[in-house]
Chain A
Amino acid sequence: MSIVARVRSALGRHRRLTVAELGDKVKRNAYAFTAGRLHLRACTSVGPRARTFGARPHIENEGEIHVGDDFAASSEFGTLRIAAGPAAVVRIGDGVTVNYGTAISARSEVTIGDGVKIGPYCIVADTELPLPLADDEPPRPIVIGDRVWLGARVIVLPGSTIGAGAIVSAGSVVSGVIPPGAIASGSPARVLRVASHAAAS
């Protein structure tokens, strides 16, 4: 997205805010942007405009951690943790938002697409026991497609694949495959319906 388009979209999104509120938001983001440079420096690669809000997230990188453009992570009430074991890969796309208290752990590979939103206290780990604790079972990679929304406290179990545009409701446990555009809920998450626009986008 060009800078003009970005500013236009941001102003559109925030047209109900007063000038003071808008200024506050700009200030917060400027701070988060600066903090992001520092907080995410353990990552293998970090896109421009990556921002971190609140406390310092825990990034433990023994493999590769790639964070895309426009990443926004909160560690305001619980810290975010992203851990990659030896030779493991965490790939986070562009425009991803991750809320506080979430654990992302890879012993093999965890791939998160563009525009994904992850709610607070989620667990996305390719072993049932996240790093650094040892798990008896071998890791199974996780793939989360573009524009997926995980609600609060969602658990994505090892070996799961979530299709692009899917919504996983809060408190669900994803085990297996969720098709693109699906709205899934429960433990284990079952597909309630599939959005008709999903295939097109």
Chain B
Amino acid sequence: MRLPRDAFVDGDVVVRGPGRFEIGRGLAISGLPVRTHLVTGPHGLLRIGDGVRIAHGVSIASHAEVTIGDAAVIGPMCIVMDVDFHDPKDLESAGAPRPVRIGAGVRLGAGVIVLRGATIGDGAYVAPHSVVSRFVPAGARAEGVPARTLQGPASGMRDRRS
């Protein structure tokens, strides 16, 4: 799989898999200092909107469907996967994937982990090192393990201190 010609690629980025990729315009993706990889399973679809920015060390895996909305920002060292690669009760069987949807204009801080079945609404902000396993409403600010939604919309880390 080749990234679109207008994509800005910085360093070590691996895009691989038997599944499908739909990548929008103006993707900016970094693979330095840590390799970034986007992989799809046999029936996986990874859909990336326009103007998405993906920082270094990011792992994205799709075995069903992972959607990343327009102008979303995926911070460094994030993990977004719609599959656990095995069933929680039977570690020998392949786990059932559940689609992940990341809305338009979402910002994931550094080191955020998005688990299978998670949905993050448009314009939400997820604080660094949070783990999103379920649902983050549009425009919300979520943080923690597992991520909880804080009151009111917020756009960045600075809102906590003010």
A binds B: yes
| Residue A58, interface by CB 8 Å | yes
| Residue B56, interface by CB 8 Å | yes
| Residue B123, interface by CB 8 Å | no
Shortest distance between the CB of B37 and any CB in chain A (Å): 13
Q: Interface centre among B30, B35, B128, by most A CB within 10 Å?
A: B128
With A123-B76, A123-B77, A153-B111 as contacts: A175 and B129 at CB distance below 8 Å: no
| Residue A188, interface by CB 8 Å | yes
Q: Which of B119-162 contact A (CB under 8 A)?
A: 127-130, 143-145, 156-158, 160-161
In the complex, which residues of chain A have a beta carbon less than 8 angstroms from the beta carbon of B61?
A: none
Contact with B143, one of A101, A102, A158, A187 (Cβ below 8 angstroms): A187
Shortest distance between the CB of A83 and any CB in chain B (Å): 9
How far apart are the CA atoms of A188 and B28 in the complex, in Å?
28
Closest to A80 in B: B33
| Residue A79, interface by CB 8 Å | yes
Is the pair A132, B30 in contact by a Cβ cutoff of 8 Å? yes
In the complex, which residues of chain A have a beta carbon less than 8 angstroms from the beta carbon of B32?
A: 58, 79, 81, 103
Q: Which of B10-68 contact A (CB under 8 A)?
A: 10-11, 28, 30, 32-35, 53, 55-57
In the complex, which residues of chain A have a beta carbon less than 8 angstroms from the beta carbon of B30?
A: 130, 132-133
Is the pair B57, A175 in contact by a Cβ cutoff of 8 Å? no
In the complex, which residues of chain A have a beta carbon less than 8 angstroms from the beta carbon of B104?
A: none
Contact-residue size bin, chain B (C-beta under 8 Å from the other chain): 20 to 34
Q: Which of A80-109 contact B (CB under 8 A)?
A: 80-81, 100-103
In the complex, which residues of chain A have a beta carbon less than 8 angstroms from the beta carbon of B128?
A: 155, 157, 173, 187
Give a binary string over B77-120; 1 marks a CB under 8 Å from any A CB, 0 the rest. Answer: 10000000000000000000000000000010111000000000
| Residue B75, interface by CB 8 Å | yes
Is the pair A121, B57 in contact by a Cβ cutoff of 8 Å? yes
Shortest distance between the CB of A42 and any CB in chain B (Å): 14
Q: Which of A116-145 contact B (CB under 8 A)?
A: 121, 123, 128-130, 132-134, 137
In the complex, which residues of chain A have a beta carbon less than 8 angstroms from the beta carbon of B144?
A: 187
Is the pair A79, B33 in contact by a Cβ cutoff of 8 Å? yes
In the complex, which residues of chain B have a beta carbon less than 8 angstroms from the beta carbon of A187?
A: 127-130, 143-145
| Residue A47, interface by CB 8 Å | no
How far apart are the CA atoms of A175 and B109 in the complex, in Å?
12
With A81-B33, A133-B30 as contacts: A155 and B55 at CB distance below 8 Å: no
How far apart are the CA atoms of A81 and B30 in the complex, in Å?
12
With A123-B110, A129-B75, A130-B76 as contacts: A103 and B129 at CB distance below 8 Å: no
With A155-B110, A157-B128 as contacts: A128 and B75 at CB distance below 8 Å: yes
In the complex, which residues of chain B have a beta carbon less than 8 angstroms from the beta carbon of A133?
A: 10, 28, 30, 53, 55
Instruction: Pull 26 A–B residue pairs with CB atoms less than 8 Å apart, ordered by A.
Output: A58-B11, A58-B32, A78-B34, A78-B35, A79-B32, A101-B33, A103-B32, A103-B33, A103-B56, A121-B34, A128-B73, A128-B107, A128-B157, A129-B73, A130-B76, A133-B10, A133-B28, A137-B156, A153-B111, A173-B110, A175-B157, A175-B160, A176-B161, A187-B127, A187-B130, A187-B143
